[in-house]
Amino acid sequence: MFSTLIGNDEVKETLRRLLSNGRLPGSLLFTGEAGVGKKLFALELAKTLNCRNRQGVEACDECSSCKRISRSTFPPFGDDDEDKARLVWSEHTDVAMVRPYKQIIRVGPIRELQREANFRPFEGAARIFIVEDAEYMNDQAANALLKTLEEPEPTTRLILTTTNPTALLATIRSRCQTIQFAPIAADEIERFLIEEKGVAKKDAQLLARTSRGSLGRACAADVDTYRDRRVAMMNVLRTLTVTGDRAELLRSAEGLAGSKDRDEYEQLLDVFEALIRDAWALSLGRPQETIVNADVARELQQVADELRSYQAAAWLTQIEELRGTLEVNINRKVASDALLMSMATA
């Protein structure tokens, strides 16, 4: 049922209204940040359309159809190359998904979707095809999907999810009704982590505040790893603002550049940016309880007392400029040294 999903109450009401009026379009585009529930909402809609004992405009969650769709986990691709060129079917014979493999959706699974979309439902009222991370379609796949969107069968529903709608063909966007998902409120994420995942309140509060509105990100994060990274980045920030020790700053750069891969490096930059924003907020008089890293507010206040707004703004700009260079294979050691030395002179 939509009521069991976390956040995005406006999306719930929109879907309920479309269902109650019998005006649910054949093609929907769910857009929003990663981890805000786009795929869960798509599966909930699939349950609703195929429920055998619908309660108003919502699924009962108890019939065999609802239970099988609920169990749809869509496991990772196997080693068989053929698996990567096919639709991924759920336990329900009318619900399937196309997913990217190594950040690309090729034409194979989209052509299979085209064929399957022409059939009437085997056991339910509608056939549901979810294209996850649709922005990863290559040109052939996008053009093949466009043909299906132009003439959809009345019993077929296509749901595309994306974090970057502008990467899709304009003709695809124009044939879908777009539904925008918002970040989930931190208190809702915190409550979910405590009640559903058994996370300690202190840890749940930190994960919720650092998740940037993404329940998926909060569930996947390791709070101890985050705290370790925060200690390292706090040392850098203190060196920049309080001690001014250039030798220590270069040692900090070595720790930053020592990340095992680009993903870890970017996560360290995420933590660094969050600390800068928090210190900046405190320097402007924001209450301690409103910042992301409120549990280390005392240490941040020491930084805030020495921080100037122009510095914080310049530092965030410099970090974002560095991020832009990560698309190419840069030397992270050289880039980190240059970043921190540049920040020291800002």
Does 21 share its domain with 83? Answer: yes
pLDDT per position in the chain (346 positions), as tens?
678 889 999 999 999 999 999 899 999 999 999 999 999 999 999 999 999 998 888 899 999 999 999 887 776 665 555 556 688 898 899 999 999 988 899 999 999 999 999 999 998 899 999 999 999 999 999 999 998 888 778 999 999 999 999 999 999 999 999 999 999 999 999 999 999 999 999 999 999 999 999 999 999 999 999 999 999 999 999 999 988 777 777 787 777 777 778 888 889 999 999 999 999 999 999 998 889 999 999 999 999 999 999 999 999 999 999 888 877 777 888 888 888 888 888 7
Does 14 share its domain with 68? Answer: yes
Which CATH number is 323's domain given?
A: 1.20.272.10
Does 144 share its domain with 30? Answer: yes
Does 230 share its domain with 132? Answer: no
Does 10 share its domain with 110? Answer: yes
Does 158 share its domain with 246? Answer: no
Does 168 share its domain with 236? Answer: no
What range does the domain containing 80 cover? 2-182
Torsion of CA 300, 306, 310, 316, to 10 degrees: -30
Which CATH number is 114's domain given?
A: 3.40.50.300
Does 89 share its domain with 146? Answer: yes
**Predicted TM-score (pTM) of this structure:** 0.86
Does 9 share its domain with 76? Answer: yes
Does 176 share its domain with 229? Answer: no
Domain count, the chain: 2
How far apart, in Å, are the Cα atoms of 232 and each of 31, 78, 225? 35, 38, 11
Does 262 share its domain with 171? Answer: no
Whether residue 194 is contained in a domain is answered as: no
Does 226 share its domain with 173? Answer: no
